[in-house]
Amino acid sequence: MKKCTVDMPSYTYAVKAERLLKARGYPCDIKRNSGTEKGCGFSLVIRSGCREALMTLDRYSIPYTLSGGGG
Amino acid sequence: MLINFDNAATTFPKPESVRAAARNAAEKLGGNSGRGGHALAMKSSAAVYSARESIAEMFGAQPENTVFTLNCTHALNMAIQGVMHGGGHLIISSMEHNSVARPAAALAAEKRISLSVAEVYPDDSRTVESFRKLMRPDTKAVVCTLASNVTGQLLPWKAIAEVCREHGVCFIADGAQACGVTDVSLSDGINILCTAGHKGLYGLSGTGLLISDGSFSIYPVIQGGTGTASKDLRQPLLLPEALESGTLNIPGIMSLKAGCEFVRRTGTDAIFRHESAVCSRFIREISDIPGIRVLRSEGASYVPIVSFTAEGIPPEELAAELSDAGYCLRAGFHCAALAHSSLGTENGTVRFSPSVFSRTQDAVSLAAVIKLIVKNKNK
């Protein structure tokens, strides 16, 4: 899985995740998301190295929900 | 010209960097932080996050556990009601401000919690012991001011935090008078730090902080829009948004970030030394005035606050005369009835509190005015 989108519980966690991943060389961007089941929120689009990036988020206990994979 | 010696209520003047940050936010950060994905909103959101990050670092916390509030009272209410949600035993100190005493007393009056008050003494070991003795199996939290807003007495909070840790009890600290003049860090055992942004941290009025170490859950007593999960009628429980419903005070937050950076640049040690020197000189100047009582005790430590009384002159009357002469000092009970009851100051006190910008020569001329007022009253 190279590219994926994860829904973040808040803007704060989205930025925290973005900073963490970018510092480790994973290209990613925050996107406003209104299409989730719970309503509006923020997503993180991880453009490559998704599997390893998600493992990094897990390691730092950053909560997220995988909403779209592929690529 | 007015000279402000009521900086314990709110610091004034503010550093230029603080005023510039607020101006810049008012002019350029027009989007609603955390709400929407357009460029203006995202720019504000990023600015707020940068403030969270900078302030968290100052207090040894994580950005996501750093909550912006309206003031210290707001933070304390959320912490006390949020941690005590579901009941239990709460201990507060006898030096607490009404921002602690009132919500605690209200919960006790509604029989939602049981409440004990730990006496504070000039001798730190006796103070720590009074907290330790009140611990019970159902004790859930201790709320303790780091420094009294009436006398400035520093409480032995690191030792009290240790007692809390031994008992698995949440230690909620009121840092309103200590933050900015002493080093305060969650690493010293504080579970939840509540503080004002507009006092020793030099932010604008309408700013405060609740900073958690994440080890105790805080039920959100204020609920509403958080910019996320809007279809879910349940309040999100993750900090900081769980406790930040509604639009944030972005100019205030940016001013607070600048204020904290000002404090870090200047150094809490240097600020403490300067303000304490002004206090010492003021005490020296007034201590030989007949009938003046300075509320300081041998053996206790103080932040730069001096409370005093003048025999035969009600504090409010003395403060009014000082105001007429251009000196702004706070008189009365300082919203801390428990503390005044403990100190035996049934008519209140007059409080002198300098800031980093205060000048010793102004404290000396203030003392001369007090001397003159007392002399005229005793004629």
Output the domain CATH number for residue A12: 3.30.70.1940
CA gyration radius, chain A: 11
Confidence of residue B379 (pLDDT cuts 50, 70, 90): confident
Give the Å distances, CA to CA, from A68 to A35, A39, A41, A71, B40.
12, 16, 15, 10, 27
Contact B293, B312 (CB under 8 A): no
- For chain B, give the percent of residues with pLDDT over 90: 92
pLDDT value, residue B245: 95
Task: Give the 3-state secondary structure of residue B147.
Answer: strand
Is the CB of B229 less than 8 angstroms away from the CB of A63? no
pLDDT tens, B163-208? 999 999 999 999 999 999 999 999 999 999 999 999 999 999 999 9
What is the number of other CB atoms lying within 10 angstroms of the CB of residue B258? 27
> Residue B189 carries which side chain, given as an amino acid letter?
G
What is the chain B residue with the closest CA to A11?
Answer: B34
pLDDT at A36 over 80: no
CA dist B107 and B112 (Å) reads: 5
Range of the domain at A48: 4-69
| Parallel/antiparallel/unpaired status of strands B208-212 and B327-328 | unpaired
Q: Give me the interface pTM, i.e. the ipTM.
A: 0.88
Cβ neighbours for B321, distance < 8 A, ≥ 6 positions apart: B373
Torsion of CA B202, B203, B206, B209, to 10 degrees: -90
Is the CB of A12 less than 8 angstroms away from the CB of B227? no
Contacts of B38 in chain A (CB under 8 A): 32
pLDDT at A71 over 50: no
**Nearest residue, CB atoms, A10 vs list B231, B232, B241:** B241
Confidence of residue A2 (pLDDT cuts 50, 70, 90): confident
| Parallel/antiparallel/unpaired status of strands B292-294 and B306-310 | antiparallel
The reply to whether A61 touches chain B by the CB within 8 Å rule is: no
What is the chain A residue with the closest CA to B34?
Answer: A11
pLDDT tens, B122-155? 999 999 999 999 999 999 999 999 999 999 999 9
The two structure tokens encoding residue B376:
């005229």
Is the CB of A30 less than 8 angstroms away from the CB of B231? no
pLDDT value, residue B231: 87
Instruction: Determine phi and psi for B288, rounding to 5 degrees.
Output: -95, 5
Name all domains of chain B by residue range, CATH numbers in brackets.
3-11+267-377 (3.90.1150.10), 16-265 (3.40.640.10)
The two structure tokens encoding residue B262:
């000002």
Least confidently predicted of B106-110, B263-267, B331-335: B331-335
pLDDT at A68 over 80: no
pLDDT at B361 over 70: yes
pLDDT value, residue B143: 98
Report pTM. Answer: 0.95
Confidence of residue A35 (pLDDT cuts 50, 70, 90): low
pLDDT value, residue A69: 63
pLDDT value, residue B167: 98
pLDDT at A70 over 60: no
pLDDT value, residue B138: 98
pLDDT value, residue B260: 98
Strand ranges inside B213-335, DSSP E: 292-294, 306-310, 327-328, 330-332
pLDDT value, residue A57: 97
Sheet holding B306-310: strands in order across? B292-294, B306-310, B349-352, B330-332
pLDDT at B289 over 70: yes
Confidence of residue A10 (pLDDT cuts 50, 70, 90): very high
pLDDT value, residue A1: 61
- Across chain B, mean pLDDT equals 96
How far does CA B290 lie from the centroid of its chain? 33
The reply to whether A67 touches chain B by the CB within 8 Å rule is: no
